[in-house]
Amino acid sequence: MDKKNANFFIALVCPLFVCGQPARVNDCKKAKYGTFYFYPPKTNEEFVIIRDKGLQREIDLKTKDTTFWQLKWKNDCQFSLKFIRKSGPISDDEKAFYNAHVSVVQIEKVSKHYYVFKGGLDDLENGNFLSDTIWFKPRIK
């Protein structure tokens, strides 16, 4: 391949590989603050998550109940959530459970439209965690 064809190949093909790849984990800052959307699998539930410096609000779009969490970032890709309160009814058992634990979240991958996380109670080391997707824009109905 001559130099002209090689340059053409690099200019044409390389951007396709770069643009098609998910963002690196170090792009977690994109998920730090703002409004996000969560659709738990195998349910009809829909949540809006509003995250700012020290607070995360999770709004159940069906019931309109809001759960408030204290947000602490460990690093750019990991944070913890401590229960503050819920706007709707909450049982004593549920409240005791929330108050006894901290949710730990690790952002695994960030793309243009979403990020993938794993989350667990108190830590991520015990293997009891879930993995799911948070979206940057709402689902089109």
| pLDDT tens by residue, 99-126 | 999 999 999 999 999 999 998 888 777 7
Q: Where are the domains of the chain?
A: 25-135
Residue pair 91/100 in contact by the 8 Å Cβ criterion: no
At 138, list the tokens: 């709402």
Give the model's pLDDT for residue 96.
94
Which pLDDT band holds residue 127 (cuts at 50, 70, 90)? low
What residues contact 69, with CB distance under 8 A and at least 6 apart?
Answer: 55, 56, 57, 58, 81, 82, 83, 84, 103
pLDDT, one tens digit per residue, over 34-67 is 999 999 988 999 999 999 989 999 999 999 999 9
Query: How many angstroms separate the CA atoms of 18 and 122, rounded?
Result: 36
